[in-house]
Structure formats: C-alpha cells, structure tokens
Amino acid sequence: GIFNNLILYNSMNSTSICLFNQRIAIIDFVPIINNNYKKKLFILVSTDDTNNDSILNKDDLLLPLMYDFEEKKMDTLAEKNQLILDYKYIKETNEIFLSVAIDKNNNNMFDFKYESNILEKYDEELNKFIPVLNDSLSAFMKNMLNSKTKK
C-alpha cells in the first residue's frame, strides 16, 4: 500500500523520527545494507500531483530517495521527478535498477507506442542513478527503433 510518511524507531534508545515534513506518497521502500554494512533505506515517492487527479500515487511522477541511517540524511537520487515505470532491487548484489520513461512530449505520461524507456542503475559512489547502456549502444538502439522497416 501507499504510505503518507515513514516513522523510524530506534529500539536501542527508544527514539522515533518522522522522515518527511510535507505531503508525500511513499510508493515503496527497501532497507539495504551495503558491502560496508552501512544501513540505508531506498524510498520511491510521489511529491506532486502531476496527473491532476487530486491524489498522490504511483501514477504521478516519482522521485527516488536514499536515507542513510548512520548520517541521518536523505538524498535525492534524481534531478527531478520522473516517469518511473518499474524498479527492481537485487538483494544478492545490492543493486537497484529503474526503468525510466523518456517523456518526449512532456505530458507527464508514458505512451508505449511512441516513447522509449531507459534502464538506470544506482551508483553508490556517485549517489545517483546512471544509465546502464553506454552512449554508443544507446544510440544504436534508438536508431534501430526510429528507423522504418524495409521490405
């Protein structure tokens, strides 16, 4: 389900903190322990009603966030809210992947017929998502999809 906020409880010292101080929809969250045993929380949220239906939910543009428990710090992992079609966390390798739509007509919706999507992977060192495909392979795929089929 969708949550309006997350409360983190520390049982060692009986303290609680509220992660957000604004209207927000938490679409999903995943606790992560990286290779250095650093505890983090990946959170996918909707902050704006981009489809104007008066409800914050997964149908709006989404923003990926990462909360660091040790530093008590929230990082935004994208420059702006995005059309995130899907995400996958692979526990065995601690990798997070996003399928992000390219909204060519800027209508905040994804048209499978005319618009493409890219696969991005979370880079912990850069603390942001980066494209999985290199530029030349990405260009090849775009050209292939945009070319007309010859008979």
pLDDT tens readout for residues 108-131 = 777 877 777 889 999 988 888 999
Q: How many CA atoms lie within 13 A of 101 on its CB side?
A: 23
pTM of the full predicted structure? 0.82
Higher-pLDDT residue of 60, 109: 60
Q: Is the Cα torsion angle 136, 131, 143, 87 positive or negative in sign?
A: positive
Burial of 6 (0-12, 13-18, 19+ CB in 10 A): middle
Give the H/E segment covering residue 143: helix 135-146
- Secondary structure class of 138 (helix, strand, coil): helix
- pLDDT at residue 151 tops 50: no
Determine the Cα–Cα distance for residues 87 and 122; give it in Å rounded to an integer.
11
131-141 confidence digits (pLDDT tens): 998 878 878 87
